[in-house]
Amino acid sequence: MTTRDQATEAAPAASRRSKITPERAQEFYDVVLDQLRESGYGSLTMEGVAAQACCSKSTLYRQWKTKPQLVAAALRAGRCGKFFTADTGTLAGDLCAAARNAASQAKPDTVLLQALGHAALQDDELKGALREALIEPELASIDSMVKRAVARGEIAADHPALPYVAAQLFGVMRSRPILEGRDADGDYLVRFVESALVPGLGLASKPSGPTLEGRAT
């Protein structure tokens, strides 16, 4: 075999071993999340992702080995939802502002959770990635607002209703489409906070509206 022939064979081999760039990987992740929201986890295939992302199926398998690993990586890539923690000076105001901001992500994240619900229960890696991407940021957002309220002396740290704030706020956000067939928009979530959460915490209600702003976390 000539030197030229050896070089020709080496080039494809080197190409096969080359790493995927972060930008290219993000393209794969975006395709995965789009297909999950559109068709669900059961219909998602490596072949389908490869076709839409214009790559070979073997490229995906070399990098991620299995569908659950690819989905988990897509979730951890950080383009699922943006969560907010408000700082209005009162816990009631913070919760209303956070509720209005969270509503902007309610639909895509609810669809994603529904698409992955059963599969995540059967795969620990998938379950962990789902928590990291969608659940833990929500918990951290609520926790930071509660800690400021406790520091202000606005509410006792051992108030019995505090452990259930996140479950109520984000639970109602994701359950309304199932219970009522409608998205939980900003107005709906703010009314829930003012009518259920705030009284349950024993706080004084504070009027809220679109002018309340939060900051991304």
pLDDT digits (tens, 9 = 90+) for 119-164: 888 889 888 888 888 788 888 889 999 999 999 999 999 999 999 9
- State which residues form the domain around 197: 84-216
- pLDDT of 194 above 50: yes
Q: What is the C-alpha separation between 81 and 140, in angstroms, rounded?
A: 14
Q: Are residues 123 and 208 both part of a single domain?
A: yes
Q: Give the CATH number, domain containing residue 50.
A: 1.10.10.60
For the residues 98-106, what does the mean pLDDT come to? 82
Q: Are residues 44 and 112 both part of a single domain?
A: no
Q: Are residues 120 and 170 both part of a single domain?
A: yes
Q: What is the pTM for the complete model shown?
A: 0.70
Domain tally, the chain: 2
In the listed set 76, 106, 126, which residue is the last one of a domain according to the structure?
76
pLDDT of 3 reads 42
pLDDT of 136 reads 85
For the residues 89-115, what does the mean pLDDT come to? 85
Q: Are residues 70 and 93 both part of a single domain?
A: no
Q: Are residues 206 and 104 both part of a single domain?
A: yes
Q: Are residues 22 and 57 both part of a single domain?
A: yes
CB-based contact 97:208 (threshold 8 Å): yes
In the listed set 38, 59, 76, which residue is the last one of a domain according to the structure?
76
